[in-house]
Amino acid sequence: MRAATPMRALLSRHRRLLAAVLAAGAAAFGLAAARPHPRGSPVLVAARDLPGGATLRAADVGTRTLPARAVPDGAVRRAAGRTLAGPVRRGEPLTDVRLRGRTLLDDADPGTVATPVRLADAAVVRLLHAGDRVDVLAARAEGPVPARTVAAGVPVVAVPRPGPETDDGALVVLRTDRTQAAAIARAAVDSRLSVAIVG
């Protein structure tokens, strides 16, 4: 019992100091845990559901902080003024593959052109997205002549936002060569144009 007396006396003298140190450590630990994770990275996301072909405005884009390991490859830093290659959901990070090139013919071969095509059935256009490949078919309203293919396996590069409902169909923009573009233009004079989606 006598040997323990000096230790108890020492602890008694420094009890207040020890309690203060422990309280300060606990407070510092709590503040550190409450701070945002320092490794988070801001990422541009869609502020709402957006259709393919939409040109992004500032109101269409928001920012979300993600852990560094969750930031997708190709995340873009600027999106306003860019055009969506396909539809995106609200909160989806915006990446380079979700945005169309700054021109319709980026990375295109020489001699390639962007060809607007008015399809007879506007509902068909709603099935298309940039990147799809289609065969362009032409069929005459009169006579027994079967539909013919005027351009095969051409990619869709844009699906413009539809205008008011009309009986004139709807536009889609295809990437073709000049010969295909001329064939489509000739067919549009006396035929109804449609497309078949191909692999």
pLDDT in tens, 96-123: 888 876 555 655 567 889 999 999 898 8
Distance separating alpha carbons of residues 32 and 29, to the nearest angstrom? 5
CATH fold of 40-98 reads: Type Iii Antifreeze Protein Isoform Hplc 12 (3.90.1210)
How many angstroms from the chain centroid is the CA of residue 80? Answer: 12
Q: Tell which residue, 60, 15, 66, has the closest CA to residue 39.
A: 66
Give the global pTM.
0.49
Residue with tokens 């290659």: 85
Amino acid type, 90: R
pLDDT in tens, 29-67: 555 544 554 568 899 999 999 998 888 999 999 999 999
Residue with tokens 């995340």: 75
What is the domain partition of the chain in residue ranges?
1-35, 40-98, 112-198
